[in-house]
Each structure stands twice: as structure tokens, then as C-alpha cells.
Structure 1
């Protein structure tokens, strides 16, 4: 019998993995001799750290960057890159099974080669690791250190046994998976996003604890690859941040795919019997037990703030919320900033990079860039995707902002119909009485691509009136955005204006 899937699973040591590790943390790497003083020391070499280092070097600064594990952080190694590679292959298999929707014939025998699927994930991850490699960082002029960091004062820290002095420092240590406190879970073994991409064998039965973006994405991907998947969520809904009609469409998609979703349900205990994981579930007063081969936890993230002696640098932090910063990303030590997931509520790769650029500008160019001024889009990469930017209606209501919403169902868009991808909508919120865009939600197969047009409009302060004049290539699904804008334009034709037009037309035709 196969051993249980658990958190100790490591990636196969193949050529792809060897290259990735050689790029991101070479075994033979020797830390350089520190300079007497650095203008900027960056703690953490994930998306935020790399973005800060690139900008600071371009400005001619003396920069040191320290990483405890792998350059590239969660995004490259255990997050965005491997998950999207896996999701793409999973969608391929889903499309094969749904070939009848497109007038095709479903293959007689669809066999998932999970080993090949994961080999592709590792190959893509290895290929992209070159862009963040230690050699590239060093070639730019960054002094790259590997090791554990301990702050020793307001302007000094140690990495292993080396002391680094700095004028400014930026902490970008990111987050790690939160492990739910379920009795027996650790003993039985479990997966997180940090280990799930190391699998080489497809679990026949998978339990996903948590109905957030990570849990939903991976649950659907593994179901499309052939696992029997159950999602357990202790809340009455999943994707609780999103609008309810968006989450409902995804719920329908999960039902279509055969994913069992148990809401208001808690995993209360785990045990292993005859090599099989037994998970006790509680929903209200109803108790049940399911058998699974693997358990994936996706119930949030924990900031990496421990073990750095932040107190010695006078830095305020919280074990759950991370490092405390103001709107300029300064900690309560004016020499030290923070960026990325370790201090942000919106934990997305591009947001981390954007926050790092704010830090460098504010620290060295007397900038006054504010975190609150960022317009931040995000996307959950399920099928269909759910993307959002700006305010939700409930948020606008809490702020006392009057809102008008324009919604276009995807089944009214020609390209969505020809693609047999009619499920979803484009919903744009504006400040009532104006054409100012406050926010938008898109549910569509390519929502992550489509949301960028609205994000650009918001950043450039382009209103719906202008978007209505933008000619879109036909046919594309992004036409739904223009249709929403056209719906706004039609509201501008008031009864008084219509009456004036009719009088003018009557005179011109006499």
C-alpha cells in the first residue's frame, strides 16, 4: 500500500528540479564579504524583494538582499507559477470530456498521465526560475546572502555570523500556509500549497479544507484531473469576499464538475486506519466521517515575522496581521520599511512588487507615494474565473457613496456564445450621477485578462463615457465591458433631451 500523502513530500530530484535549485539557492553558494555599509538591505527575495532590488540597483544604490530559502518566494516556487501550469492542463482534460459542447467527439478513453502533468509543472517552474536566479541578481550588482536574519539594532542585522549595516532596510519575508488545529491532522499527514506541487501520484480522493481562492482553484484542478474532491468550509459560503452572484456561478460550476461542497462544516479529527485517512466532520449537530487519500489545507496564510528579533530594531508586529506600517509603508523605525505579504492585507504578487517600488521611491527619492492610492485587481483562477477591482457595492454603501451598477451577462456577448462560455457577467459600479468607475467584478473564462482594461481605466481616471467610445476587436469577450459602458451612455439620454431631439428632427424634416 502506498504511504500516506503528507507535508514531508519533496519534489523529485530530476533535471528540472536541479536547475531550479541551482538558480534559486545553489548548494555551493558562498555569501560575499559584506560592504561596510549598504544604502538598502532587503530581507526576503520574493516578488517584493526582487522588485525592490531591481529598482534600487537601477538608481545606483548599494544593495544587499537576504533569503532564507529560495529566491522567487511563494509565487514562483509554490504559488502562482506552478498552480497556473497545473490549472492549464486540468482545463485541457475538462475540455476533452466536454468536447460535445463544441461539436466534437469525446475521446473513447481519456487517461490522465499525472506524472507527465507534474513533470510539465516542474519544467515550467524551472524555466522561469532563471529570471530571478542568484546569478542574475549578482550580475545586476546585488550582494546576495543566504541565511537566517536577526536584527541587532536600529540599523544593523546579522545574517548567519555576518553583520550588515544599512541606511534603510525593507522587510519582505512573506507568509507561510496556516495549518488548522485539527486533532490528528499532523500525525495523519497533509498537503499545503508548499508541498502539493511535489506530488507525482494523483490522490484518488482529496479533501480540501478551506473555501478560499487557493482551495477553490486546486479543488477544481484536481477534480478535472480525476480526483474525487470534497471541499469543507466552516462558513456558510466560499469565496466570502466576492459578490454572491459570482460565487453562485462558481458553485454551479463545482456541481457540474462533480465537486462535493460542504458548507458550515468543520473537520474535527483525523486518523489513519489501514492506511486510509478518516476525517470526522461536524455540520451543525450532524456528524459524519469520510475516507480520503490526501488532505489539502487552504485556510489562509501566516506572516513570517518570528525569529528575526524585530524587537531589537524597534519594529512593531503582530503574529497574525504581520508587520505594522503606515500608508507610506514605514514601520515605527523610520529606517525600516516593509512590503509584500508580510504587511499587506491584499496578498497578490503584483501588489507585493508595487509596494516594494513604493518603498524604494519613498526611501530614496523623497517620495510620498501611498499604499492606499494603488488600484489593485485580483483574480481567482477557477473555471470560470472571478476577477475584481476597486470597491464592492457593500463597501461603497458603508462609505456613504451612492452607486449605480451596469451588468452585462456573458450570454449576450457573441464571442462568449461562439466559445460556448456563456456563464458569467461583467458588472461595473460607478458613482451615481457621474461616470466615475468605483469597481467591477467579471465572471468569465478569461476574466483575469479582461479586468485589466477596467483597472487601466480606473488608474487613468477614464470614465464609462469614454469606454463606450472604445472600439473593441470583434468578436471578443471583452466587448462585454463596452456593452456595460454603452448601457451607461443610454441612461444619459433623458426624457428632456429626447424631447429636444424630437423637436429638432421635426424642424429639419419640414
Structure 2
């Protein structure tokens, strides 16, 4: 049995930086990774998808270059190059993490599957047949993340469906892509492959795309994707899938009526499930909910003393930056007596469609539920000088402002670099800067940020 001060299971965006910080404090630290270091973000999520989205954006610009007076005669998508470029970027990032882990004193990386054998003991079944390591520590941090959830649709186990992981390695553009799901992953990947040449159909069970967003946000996103040629069905539930010689048939109830759709490829993007089953948590007294997510308190502590859960596996917001913030919260509470909690922390996020959806704080629906008095400032992108000049006028900027003290409660921005622009409002919210102050602030001309003057000026009209 090898004794450590801390064991971290999973090398994602919470586990890896925490391991480095604990080791730097002199803690003898073990980090266990089953597959690749870097977690979902580096290997299957943020890094590879955004690398490929960049290629698709270039394709779209070339396709519509006449809008800017540049005339091109056709183009071809070199899909093996697109996938190879993505793989090179992923490998570069992954190798960088491997190097940092290897060079960090007091830190040992174990490659293999972690299984609890007791409240504070773990068995690592290594990559080599019969390889096994037995570890123990007083502090254990679980950062195992999630994996694509496959719903129990009739026939799903008999068709060669794709997931958000496996589709990224397709070196041929799918001719006809049917996507189950209508949230961030589905829409990002749908637009990506649409722009690379696929015919794309979206089937979303809810009454609108992006079911957690305000209706005006959903409507604009839907319209922009449909204008690009995407077919979108809401109130659409797949009931059966089957394989024919050259296609996959999806039977669905759409707006109450049964329909059968045909496609060459099927992408299942209906959410994710926690990677907790293999851990054998029943040997630790760590509780999970009915979906398998580890239950934690506001300090990310599980029901077992000394065991924490960071990132997607704890059922919190499934974003890389939240996982990273989780490690800061745990570290500062352990070593700086910071008494931080997840309650009321900021939750920015961005959907990387083109244009992007940047979000921070409350939506209108959430503010109404809270009974807050608020007013809405809204500015269409076709009234933003920078957007008009660059030819990117789809979308709007919307902010919720407290009726009485003019503090900014939340924002949604659909527009070119919407994620970057919403970050300006995020910092204003953190610093207590009011809408009135932003209205009168000096921004360099003609940035997108300058539009925030006009946004909040609209409240005076």
C-alpha cells in the first residue's frame, strides 16, 4: 500500500491544477487518469470542437465571400486535414499537461482505472494486464467527469450512432446528419458539420431550442441556423431507430404526429451522465443522486469526510471553467481559510455557434421567478457600429438592470464574439459597476464593447 497525503481521481480541469498546487505545498500527491490527461475539455470537448469550428467558419466565410465583394469560384473541404489539425492541437495541449505532471515534485501520475477498496483506499488497475497499484490517502478528490448519455430508444443499440466524442474523428463529412438534442453541444456540432457540407436535421424534445434560455434568445438562434439551411424540429421525440443498407431511419413524434426521417449518420447529443459506476463508491459512504452524480455541499465536500467531488461529476454546471473554479475553491478553503462556497458564484458561459451566445447572471425568466424588480435594455446587432462595419449583424445585446439601484443582474449577447463582450458585463457585475456608469464609460472606438454605451442609454428613452 502506497501512502499519499492526497489522491486525485481524474486529470481534468479541476484535478490537474489542484494536483500541482497540493504538490507545491509539499503534499505527497497521486493523480489517477484512466484514458488521457486533460479530461473532456482537452480531448473531446472544448479544444477539439473549437479547433474544428474555426475551420468551418473559414468555409462559411469563403462560401459567402461575395457579401464583402470578394468572389470565389467554389472550394473543397479537406476533412482529413481538418481532423488532423484538430488532433495536432489536442496532442500539443495533452503533451504539455503530461510534461507538467511529470516534472512536478511530490506528484505521481498513475494511468489506469480507480476503484475504491475502502473509505480512504483505492486500487488502480493499470493499462498493462495484471498491473495493479494500491493507494491510500486522508484526502481524496474525485474529478472523473461525465460521458455521453444514450437514451433508451428502441433499436439504438443496433445502429452505428455517433457521440460528441466519436464524430470528431470522422474523416468524411457526413452527407445527412440527424442530431438528437437541441442544446449547446448539438447546435455547435450541427452548425460545424452544416458548414462543412452536411445536410443537418435537429430533433429537440422540448418546445424550443436551448430550453433553459429566454424565448427571444431561442428564436434568434433558431432563425439564424435555419437561414443557413439547418432543419429544426422541436417538440420532437425519437421513438425508434433502425439501420437500412445506406442510411439510418429515425422514427419520431413531431408536434404530436409520427414521422420517419432518413440520414446517413446519427449523432446522439442528449446530455451526459456521470462517470461514477466503476468507482464503487458504496465502499466510501459517498452518496450519489438517482442519476449517479455525487452529492456535495456548497464547499464541494461529499458525505464522506475528506472526500471531495469537483467538476461535472458533482452535477453542478457542466462547464470547464466551473471545474477549474472548483479547484480554486477547494484549495483556498484548505490552505487559506477562505471559507468560499459555490453559492451565488458567477456562472458565465458561451455557446460557440457563429455568432456566439454569451451569458452571465439571470435570464428574464429567472428574474421573474425570483420576483425581482427589473428593466430590460436591448440593442439589436444591426445598430452596433462594429457589427455593421464587419458584416456581422445577426443577434442582439440584452441586459437585465435592477429597477431601483441600476445594478446589472444578467445579460445575454448573441453576436460576433458575444462571449468576449459578455465578459465585460461580468466584470461590471462583480465590481458593482452600475448600468449608468457603463453607459457613461469611455470605450475605444469602434469596439463591440462601445455598444454598451448605447445599450444602457436605451433605458433613458
Partner of 2:60: 94
Alignment of 1:445-456 (within 5 A): 445-456=416-427
* Number of residue equivalences: 454
Partner of 1:78: 44
SS of the aligned residue for 2:84 comes to helix
1:437–1:458 CA contact under 8 A, matched in 2: yes
1:61, CA displacement in angstroms? 2.3
Distance 1:291 1:480 in 2: 44
Alignment of 1:142-181 (within 5 A): 142-160=107-125, 161-181=132-152
1:239, CA displacement in angstroms? 0.7
Q: Does 1:474 align with 2:440?
A: no
Distance 1:304 1:392 in 2: 30
Query: Please, which moves more after superposition, 180-189 or 378-387?
Result: 180-189
Counterpart pick for 1:431 among 382, 399, 402? 402
Please list the CA deviations of residues 260-306 of structure 1 after superposition, one character each: whole Å capped at 9, or x if unmatched. 11111122222222232222222244222222111001100101111
Structure 1 unmatched runs, 5+ = 1-33, 492-510
Partner of 2:128: none
Partner of 1:138: 102
Distance 2:144 2:309 in 1: 9
1:117, CA displacement in angstroms? 1.4
Counterpart pick for 2:283 among 312, 316, 339? 312
Distance 2:335 2:142 in 1: 16
Distance 1:187 1:482 in 2: 56
1:253–1:383 CA contact under 8 A, matched in 2: no
Alignment of 1:14-413 (within 5 A): 35-36=2-3, 38-105=4-71, 107-133=72-98, 135-141=99-105, 142-160=107-125, 161-320=132-291, 322-413=293-384
1:303–1:319 CA contact under 8 A, matched in 2: no
Distance 1:163 1:82 in 2: 34
1:220, CA displacement in angstroms? 0.7
Distance 1:281 1:162 in 2: 48
TM-score (norm 2): 0.95
Distance 1:301 1:319 in 2: 14
Structure 2 unmatched runs, 5+ = 126-131
1:321, CA displacement in angstroms? 5.5
Counterpart pick for 1:444 among 408, 415, 426? 415
Distance 2:357 2:152 in 1: 29
SS of the aligned residue for 1:152 comes to strand
RMSD: 1.6
Distance 1:418 1:368 in 2: 48
Partner of 1:498: none
SS of the aligned residue for 1:372 comes to coil
Please list the CA deviations of residues 78-99 of structure 1 after superposition, one character each: whole Å capped at 9, or x if unmatched. 1011111111111111111111
1:208–1:296 CA contact under 8 A, matched in 2: yes
Please list the CA deviations of residues 12-47 of structure 1 after superposition, one character each: whole Å capped at 9, or x if unmatched. xxxxxxxxxxxxxxxxxxxxxx753x2221111111
1:71, CA displacement in angstroms? 0.7
